[in-house]
Chains A and B, each alone.
Chain A
Amino acid sequence: MNQRAVRAVIRKDLMSVIRSKGVMIPLIVVPLIFFVLIPVLVSLAPNLVSMPGLSLQELDSFIQGMPAGLQNELSGYSESQVIIVLMVVYIFAPMFLIVPLMVSSVIAADSFAGEKERKTIEALLYTPLTDFELFTAKLLSAWIPAVLVAFLGFAVYTAAANLAGWPLMGKLFFPNWMWVILVVWVAPAAAGLGLASMVLVSSRVRGFQEANQIGGMVVLPILLLVIGQAAGVMYFNVRMVLLLGIFLWGIDGGLIWWGVKTFQRERLITGGG
């Protein structure tokens, strides 16, 4: 593996991404919403229960509909604390995965489809890079920033949640082990899913926007997890996130195996799938 050349492609792609407003705006706005805005809003949630139309009885009946394991987890908290823990620790856990997935898919769309659109790919194809090295470089240039954003975002989310929740919680309540596993094990897999699906899409589209629109659908399974948890069908505990990680890494492995097999100079030039 020609590591210097692989690093050069990653450097080029990242410099290119950082200087593109069209790519950077979603990469800044979405993490800000998830990692800053949401925990701050959640800190206001206990005040909402005193608003007309909302009552603690309704919250109780909502929690009664949750899986028994989750009810146990929440049992030691007061009603106001339950709202914060439920939202910050459980409801938003699957939503956290949207960020690495979105970051990797946006960068991959720019790196694969965008480069084809800007006609800069041909110069790369005439370099001594092998197909495998070029593919690896392109994957890493989307995966590394997505994982870094997830880790950084987790740190910001932790700080924001604890700061915002302090008046009611009176202690550091976040993160728990489930979250640590979610960030270290599942988030990199979610980033892999975003970029692997974008690799699939990019060879069949003409440009960045089209790739983004089609590739954006990969968020749908994550939304199903959010809905599933809110509806009380399942909840994120240590076992669940471990299994989810295995499942996502399995899909990533399959998609990347397929990508390695099909990522060939010929196909990039002739436009074949």
Chain B
Amino acid sequence: MVETPLITTRDLSRSFDSIRAVDQLNFDVHPGEIFGILGHNGAGKTTTIRLLNGLLKPSGGSARVLGVSPAEQGPILRSNTGVLTETSSLDERLTGRENLSIFADLFAVPVEKVETRIHQSLKTFGLMNRADDFVREYSKGMKQRLALARTLLHEPRLLFLDEPTAGLDPVSARDVQDLIKTMSQQGRTIVLCTHNLEEAQKLCHRVAVLRQGKIIALGSPRDLARKIYRKSQVQIDVSREDQDAVLKFLRRKDYRAEVDENPELIVIQDIDRAEIPDLIENLSAEKFSLYQVILAQPTLEDIYFALHNLEESRS
């Protein structure tokens, strides 16, 4: 049985005066998924989160989130979603514990559970020993962890994380990414807005690439790679003694082969994936000492820029 999507958008659009911030978005997000929304600054990521939480009303199209219309039933919807905004939005004049306590009340966490829930959150996010310090005394990484703790306090079914690692040092960023992975493993559905492509590659099951408010690509990073890169790149690890013979053999077969930057490897450009099994068979038949054949996967960053260049050339 196919699970009902938690988010469905159909031609969802939003304009600000003459500017089309979000333009006919169509996508579904399924339970347990980490769904990435990628794009440059101003691509429409934050507007999409605001539309999906009922902070903005659409100019056209529709959305259903957790079975309700965000524009019509915002308060009900927001009691089941958690949103980490791009700036942590913490009250810096309050302590970490006070910030959590206020939001526990705002999200109607059962009164008898508030203390335990806050204690548990502070522990999970490594803030226990600074819980009663003012937030203004926290580092940026600590603030982001506290904001994440606040986002999870009411145990939402659906999380929206807007640039969760923006401005963090590499260690804090990795901590936050690990927390996101853990939340996903606990079965939460996460919508992750980011322009950090490495992060999206690490975390997301599927991504939507936004450009000027439109989705220009949608799918898993691997699917997108297949759509864009019909030809692949293969690296072959052969013994040093066989390297020249292998190069000659490949060139005779009209492959674009050369020695890689790493001199242990031979690299073949623009090869069709379907040809790879034959290639391995032929090399083995020639009795070359073949250690490994590596299909070089394009990164999400390669895909992202390829998509943008494609759109650029179209427009």
Contacts and interface: CB of A to CB of B under 8 A. Distances in A.
Chains A and B are bound partners: yes
Interface of A: 2, 4-5, 7-9, 11-12, 15-16, 19-20, 118-130, 265-266, 269-270
Contacts of B90: 120, 123
A9 B102 CA distance: 7
B78 A127 contact: yes
A175 to B, nearest CB: 37
A16 B91 contact: yes
Contact of B94 (A12, A124, A269): A12
Given A11-B105, A12-B91, 4 more contacts: A5-B106, A8-B105, A20-B93, A127-B78
Contact of B55 (A8, A119, A120, A269): A269
Contact of B79 (A7, A16, A128, A266): A128
Nearest to A11: B102
B92 interface: yes
Contacts of B83: 123, 126
Contacts of A19: 93-94, 134
A16 B106 contact: no
Contacts of B54: 265
Contacts of A126: 53, 55, 78, 81, 83, 85
B112 to A, nearest CB: 13
21 contacts: A4-B108, A5-B105, A11-B105, A12-B91, A15-B94, A19-B94, A119-B87, A121-B89, A122-B87, A123-B89, A123-B103, A124-B89, A124-B106, A127-B103, A127-B107, A128-B75, A128-B107, A128-B108, A130-B75, A265-B74, A269-B55
A269 B106 CA distance: 20
Contacts of A265: 54-56, 74
A16 B91 CA distance: 8
B163 interface: no
A5 B16 CA distance: 31
Contacts of B150: 123
Interface in B56-107: 56-57, 74-76, 78-79, 81, 83, 85, 87, 89-94, 98, 102-103, 105-107
B50 interface: yes
A128 B81 CA distance: 9
Interface in B89-139: 89-94, 98, 102-103, 105-108, 134
Contacts of B50: 269
A194 to B, nearest CB: 22
A251 to B, nearest CB: 31
What's the interface size class on B, roughly? Answer: 20 to 34
Contacts of A16: 91, 93-94
B85 A123 contact: yes
A58 to B, nearest CB: 52
Contacts of B94: 12, 15-16, 19
Contacts of B55: 125-126, 265-266, 269
A25 to B, nearest CB: 15
A5 B93 contact: no
A4 B105 contact: yes
Given A127-B78, A128-B78, A2 B108 contact: yes
Contacts of B108: 2, 4-5, 128
A128 B156 CA distance: 12
A265 B106 CA distance: 16
Nearest to B79: A128
A31 B85 CA distance: 39
Contact of A7 (B91, B98, B105): B105
B93 A15 contact: yes
Nearest to B16: A270
Contact of B89 (A4, A120, A269): A120
Instruction: Please give me the 3 A-B residue pairs with the lowest Cβ-Cβ distance, nearest first.
Output: A123-B89, A8-B105, A128-B79
Contacts of B91: 12, 16, 118, 120
Nearest to A137: B106
B94 to A, nearest CB: 6
A88 to B, nearest CB: 38
B93 A129 contact: no
Contacts of A12: 91, 94, 102
Contact of A269 (B56, B87, B98): B56
Interface in B243-298: none
Contacts of A266: 55-57
Contacts of B76: 128
B202 to A, nearest CB: 26
A4 B101 CA distance: 12
A2 B75 CA distance: 11
A119 B50 CA distance: 16
Contacts of B56: 265-266, 269-270
B85 A8 contact: no
Nearest to B105: A8
Nearest to B57: A266
Nearest to A19: B93
A120 B94 CA distance: 12
A129 B53 CA distance: 12
Contacts of B98: 15
Given A15-B98, A270-B16, A127 B106 contact: yes
